[in-house]
Structure 1
Amino acid sequence: MAITRFPMVEKCTSIDRENDTVVTDLDGTLLRSRNSFAYFALVAFDVDGVLRLLFLLLASPIAGILYHFISESAGIQVIVFATFVGMKVSDVESAARHVLPKFYLEDLHPESWRVFSSCGKRCVLTATPRIMVEPFLKDYLGTDIVLGTEIETYKGRATGFVKSPGVLVGKNKADTLTSTFRDTQPEIGLGDRDTDIPFMTLCKEGYFVPSNLKVKAVSTKKLPKPIIFHDGRFIKKLTPLTSLFIIIWIPFGFLLACLRISIGILLPIPLQYYAFWAAGIHLIINGIPPLHIKKFKDQSGVLFVCCHKTILDNIFPSAALDRPIPVVTYSTSRLFNIFPRIKTITLTGDGASDASMIKKLLKQRDLTIFPEGTTNRGQFLLRFSSLFAEFTDEIMPVAIETKMSMFHGTTTRGWKWMDPFFFLMNPRPTYEITFLNKFTSKSGKSSHEVASYVQKVIAETLSYGCTTFTRKDKYMALDTIVKNP
């Protein structure tokens, strides 16, 4: 039998399907790519690091030979074993919830999604382990039933083996569908390969989804739910070739990161801009930074109010200004303190005490503050504190953007102390600092209005959505984007 005997998915109408049930395969059907290596690789690195990724990469040729020449099920079992053996189930679940959805959403097949989203009841039947795909399918695509390969566990850890009836391919898919729906026959079945035919024939209508990576993925504007929080270290999906390159690069990249960090620790501030450039760090300065001039005795210093992108944010503004600017933080990371030339002041949390301390410091010098209170990867700003607006006459908003080609420089689930190393391990990381127009807080506006204005101009500069998220909100799975009032 050949799956091409089924009509193409483009022939399937999506009108008046509210009462219909659709059953679809995942890789190559609901997703454009038929190869799921990238998602296993993301889990492998995120949970266990580079050695696990290397183990998976070494196992992938064996899996490929088994998959194409002996048994599709055997090939998948090798990949499952190499990825999961010994992993904590809770870590896999966390990676599936916070790392994989972004990459899955960027690979949605437009025609399959058109049909899938039009149906009232949605089921995904896949050979991929259910633990990997269920959070994405249910939380972001509104899937009602997820039927995937089940992995064996022992005392909270994966054994690397799969539960009976085994990997869901061919007849196992059909049997699982029958046991789930019993006497009810789904209206639509979508598949992309011959091993999908057994379950497709159990549906009233079957449609073939041809493999075509050139077709454009579904636009993010058409997705039912956007990605608000995304974790994980990688910028892009991992192919076997990019995985090999990353494994080779990491030792050299780590040494390069140590060299770059040494520049911030050892060199005087006036030399750092040129040293960063020589070390491959692209520091872009936009706007007009204020000159360092002697203040009148009764004049306050400038308060630089910045968004917060990485732990290195206290270094690059000083390098851009050509002088050390002390940093005021809500909680001090030990990594902030490894750069001795830039003083770090920690707030106590007591409003009156903190205000008095900052006012006193501003009489002596300029200060930098990150009122978000936490690093921010997504295109959303957190609600700025209004307290800083009462500290000084001169406020300068500073928009900070980072650009990376390989690794993200922030994480919440991984080792936080590795954040600066991962950012600086990128071959040519970029820090773009935009000094916006300085203004006075003594303009008749309330401190809350001033704080909202600062957030607004930074958000517009970065083309971000200006929201009212709090720090706590950022680390929660949000259901909707909260619009700025």
Structure 2
Amino acid sequence: MATAAAAKFPSVKHCPSIGREKDTVVADMDGTLLIGRSSFPYFALVAFEVGGILRLLFLLLLSPAAAVLYYLVSESAGIRVLVFAAFAGMRVSDIESVARAVLPKFYAGDLHPDTWRVFSSCGRRCVLTANPRVLVEPFLKEFLGADLVLGTEILSYRGRATGFVAEPGVLVGKNKADELVAAFGGAVPEIGLGDRHTDFAFMSLCKEGYIVSPKSQVKAVDADKLPKPIVFHDGRLVQKPNPVTALLIVLWIPVGFLLACLRIAAGSLLPMPLVYYAFWALGVRVTIKGNPPPPPTNNSGVLFICSHRTLLDPIFLSTALGRPIPAVTYSVSRLSELISPIPTVRLTRDRATDASMIKKLLQKGDLAICPEGTTCREPFLLRFSALFAELTDELVPVAMVNRMSMFHGTTARGWKGMDPFYFFMNPSPAYEVTFLNKLPRELTCGGGKTSHDVANYIQRVIAATLSYECTTFTRKDKYRALAGNDGTVAEKPRVKPSKIMGC
């Protein structure tokens, strides 16, 4: 019966997208706007990011029951189980935070090209989904330009989710059609897009209906085709956690934590010349490129200007050099200070005080600094502070890049003291340290350049080495974006290399 009904609707491939500027499109999400038909990975992300490993384990234990109900009883029953397992007892503000800072990266990597071609061509865009609205709305509105998002509403009590859904229940089948009528009144949307028989009810209310085949093997839309690029995102997990991946994460974390403790102990307790070999023996790969400068022979040290990927950048710089290099940082947890094998000095953000402190440290020897002031996971370099350029002409740029297969070693929302542990919990984490040429005197402040000229030049050199783009974003931009304070994350003109700092 479902096959016969689907025959009424042609494939989305046959939907014209030219001249649709005045049309309204209404699209389902899983399997339609997204390639993946399962919403489990996004529930799992919320479960892990807010509730940790125990909440993820709870979701995994209930997921077989959810699958049985979903496929043998009703979609609504299966989704209700996932909502309860993932959300019950959580602060709604925490769910919203994950939806804003974590999920967009994963949603964007699963965008269906045929649906996006039609969806993006229409003047008014609406998404009608069984997913909880709280999960999908930030991504749909901020990154896909959706005007209206209709999804399942979750119940809450005193700011915490109860695990149940509000009336009229999960938006599937007739509920979707009723929500569409309530939202549009007498108006009839021009295009309806869906992928399964429970979508036919709302698709039939549109002037045109198109089906998205669940069997088509398609490649997701490239990130640079989105109205806004995703420059900043958060969360600990590198990969989208389908049930198998989620199970592997749960099984690996106890082993990974013990391995991380061993790796951290090796880095903290062994003499620095031996750390490189200890890391290799423990599965941590360190690749060194370029020509590292020799140790200082006088009372003036070299200032290493590093791109910033994780809190561990100065440690891997020291590992590559075979000697401890002190680092100045804007923020570091007490735990990180305690286990760090190198001296760390906190900056005060007072320009005069920090300048005096850095000058004194350079008189004692080499020093490392990350002038971006915060990390960025995407291939972008944030704006470099120009303070360092005023303090010395002995400048060596260092391009840092790392690889993590399971966990990100940075966080903006969580406890930063766990950053080193999460990085070293990866099965085989890797760092690549590239030493670039020391700046000639004519390109320094001593040679007549301004501090901003020097900072911009070093940013361009490191960006070219890593094939990254320069931006004018700062630490404040990052935290505003992840908090959703200003409603914007990154407009494309701000990250085009041809318009930023001459990159």
Q: Smaller-chain TM-score range?
A: over 0.9
1:336 is displaced (CA, Å) by 4.1
Counterpart Cα distance in 2 of 1:258 and 1:305:
29
1:333 is displaced (CA, Å) by 3.0
1:236 is displaced (CA, Å) by 1.2
1:102 is displaced (CA, Å) by 0.9
Change (3 A) 1:125 1:63: same
Other-structure match for 2:459: 455
Other-structure match for 2:420: 420
Other-structure match for 2:364: 364
Written as runs of structure 1 = structure 2, the 5 A alignment for 1:398-477 is 398-439=398-439, 440=441, 441=444, 442-477=446-481
1:20 is displaced (CA, Å) by 1.1
Counterpart Cα distance in 2 of 1:249 and 1:231:
21
Other-structure match for 2:153: 150
1:172 is displaced (CA, Å) by 0.8
Give a deviation string over 1:216-274, Cα, whole Å, max 9, x none. Answer: 11122221111021101111111101111110000000000000110121111111000
Change (3 A) 1:275 1:204: same
Q: In structure 2, give the amino acid aligned to 1:248.
A: L
Q: Secondary structure at the match of 1:217?
A: coil
Counterpart Cα distance in 2 of 1:374 and 1:93:
23
Q: Residue 484 in 1 paired to residue 500 in 2? A: yes
TM-score normalised according to structure 1 size: 0.96
Other-structure match for 1:87: 90
Contact residue 301 and residue 392 of structure 1 kept, 8 A: no
Q: Which moved more, 1:213-222 or 1:60-69?
A: 213-222
Contact residue 80 and residue 164 of structure 2 kept, 8 A: yes
Q: In structure 1, give the amino acid aligned to 2:500.
A: N
TM-score normalised according to structure 2 size: 0.93
Q: In structure 1, give the amino acid aligned to 2:454.
A: V
Contact residue 314 and residue 336 of structure 1 kept, 8 A: no
Written as runs of structure 1 = structure 2, the 5 A alignment for 1:11-410 is 11-212=14-215, 214-295=217-298, 300-339=300-339, 341-410=341-410
Give a deviation string over 1:395-418, Cα, whole Å, max 9, x none. Answer: 101111110001110011112111
Counterpart Cα distance in 2 of 1:155 and 1:10:
46
Contact residue 318 and residue 324 of structure 1 kept, 8 A: yes
1:93 is displaced (CA, Å) by 0.5
RMSD of Structure 2 on Structure 1 (CA)? 1.5
| Percent identity for Structure 1 against Structure 2 | 66
Q: Which moved more, 1:180-189 or 1:243-252?
A: 180-189
Number of residue pairs aligned between Structure 1 and Structure 2? 482
Counterpart Cα distance in 2 of 1:447 and 1:123:
49
Contact residue 12 and residue 114 of structure 2 kept, 8 A: yes
1:173 is displaced (CA, Å) by 0.9
Contact residue 265 and residue 338 of structure 1 kept, 8 A: no
1:341 is displaced (CA, Å) by 4.5
Q: In structure 2, give the amino acid aligned to 1:189.
A: G
1:29 is displaced (CA, Å) by 0.7
Q: In structure 2, give the amino acid aligned to 1:399.
A: A
1:479 is displaced (CA, Å) by 4.2
Q: In structure 2, give the amino acid aligned to 1:80.
A: V
Change (3 A) 1:352 1:178: closer
Counterpart Cα distance in 1 of 2:63 and 2:183:
32
Q: Secondary structure at the match of 2:25?
A: strand
Counterpart Cα distance in 1 of 2:253 and 2:144:
35
Q: In structure 2, give the amino acid aligned to 1:480.
A: E
Counterpart Cα distance in 2 of 1:452 and 1:257:
36
1:380 is displaced (CA, Å) by 2.1
Contact residue 233 and residue 411 of structure 1 kept, 8 A: yes
Change (3 A) 1:350 1:99: closer
Change (3 A) 1:22 1:267: same
Q: Secondary structure at the match of 1:363?
A: helix
Counterpart Cα distance in 2 of 1:73 and 1:360:
65
Q: Secondary structure at the match of 2:233?
A: coil
**Structure 2 unmatched runs, 5+:** 482-488
Give a deviation string over 1:291-325, Cα, whole Å, max 9, x none. Answer: 22522x6xx21111112221222211111111111
1:476 is displaced (CA, Å) by 2.0
Give a deviation string over 1:56-96, Cα, whole Å, max 9, x none. Answer: 11111101111111112111111111111111000000111
Q: In structure 2, give the amino acid aligned to 1:208.
A: I
Change (3 A) 1:154 1:352: closer
Change (3 A) 1:121 1:369: same
Counterpart Cα distance in 2 of 1:96 and 1:103:
10
Q: Secondary structure at the match of 1:273?
A: helix
Counterpart Cα distance in 2 of 1:459 and 1:241:
37
